[in-house]
Amino acid sequence: MKVLLTGASGFIGSHISNALIEMYGKSAVLALASKKINNMNCLIYKAFNNFGLEEKCFNDITHVIHAGAFTPKDASQANDLDRSFDNICYTNKLLSYEFASLKRFVNLSSLDVYASAEQKLSEKSKIEPVSLYGSSKLYCEKMIKAFSEQRNITYMNLRIGHVYGPGEEKYKKVLPAAIRNILENKPLELWGDGSELRSFIFIEDVVESVLNSLESSEKNLDINVASGVAVSIRDLLNKIIEVSGQQVKINKKESSHEKRDLLFDNGLLLGTLLKKEIDLMEGLKIEYNYMKDKYENNI
């Protein structure tokens, strides 16, 4: 096996790269990147839409994990026209290579391909992205399906949900923001009544699902890689306070946003790529201790 990984320096990609090397060895993993990544064999491309690499560079690749993409760090970036289009251009350029030995293409997509819904989302839910980012990920899914059919290989489109864990602090998300406030002895902020339900999947569960997708007997599937366990934002903040062992005040803020729950049916995931989810409290402890160590050591 020879695995090509894109996005190896990102939050999810860096965890995947470490797990791949541990499982298959450094020589079996190749990162496609814009610059050198420490402790990895790398193919350095000139630009995302013009790699400047010869066909032979990819001849021995048997599996691709395509994790490289623009991902909004907050809601304001969800309709970034240029960067969303970059996702399509990058994927298109990747698919322009022959990959003479390729057997499977694993694509990390997003739950943003779905329409807004009141009920639990499953793989059978309506596909209708509400953002340019979601539209770009859906188009990439379609390109990969067409590529796989033309080349007679198998694919897996893994629609990734809200991922938490070490490394998430790069994004403006509720968990790292809350942990940062606790470490800085600041109160937490709760917008609205905090009753909105969200689902959080731990990074290790995502990595396990991705690695299992490489050699799974399942093929040509779209799978939601998301937690099936929902928690209210209010309860989530209370859980992270409990993990910290601190006395922390929660300031309530008025919110004009419409209340929207995000619930997912991950039965297909648990029946194919992941045996069991990591417990939320266990995952929160790992993320809190990771950020606490970084904070105390000024990392």
Predicted local distance difference test score (pLDDT) of residue 254: 82
Q: What's the mean pLDDT in 69-76?
A: 87
Q: Return the structure tokens found at 3.
A: 């695995």
What single string gives the DSSP state of each residue in 102-164? --EEEEEEEGGGBPP-SS-B-TTS-B--SSHHHHHHHHHHHHHHHHHHHHT-EEEEEEE--EE
Q: What's the mean pLDDT in 81-94?
A: 96
| 272 domain residue, yes or no | no
Predicted local distance difference test score (pLDDT) of residue 92: 97
Top pLDDT among 166 and 73 is at 166
Over 90: is that where the pLDDT of 116 sits? no
Over 90: is that where the pLDDT of 48 sits? no
Tally of structural domains, the chain: 2
Q: Are residues 81 and 109 both part of a single domain? A: yes
Q: What's the mean pLDDT in 189-208?
A: 95
Q: What's the mean pLDDT in 113-120?
A: 85
Q: Are residues 186 and 80 both part of a single domain? A: no
Q: Are residues 8 and 85 both part of a single domain? A: yes
In the chain, the percentage of residues whose pLDDT exceeds 70 is 99
Predicted local distance difference test score (pLDDT) of residue 137: 98
Q: Are residues 217 and 233 both part of a single domain? A: no
| 61 domain residue, yes or no | yes
The domain in which residue 173 lies consists of 164-198+229-262+278-296
Q: How confident is the model at residue 49 (pLDDT cuts 50, 70, 90)?
A: confident
Q: How confident is the model at residue 118 (pLDDT cuts 50, 70, 90)?
A: low
What would the 3-class secondary structure string for 34-83 be?
Answer: CCCCCCCEEEECCECCECCCCHHHHCCCCEEEECCCCCCCCHHHCCCHHH
Predicted local distance difference test score (pLDDT) of residue 256: 66
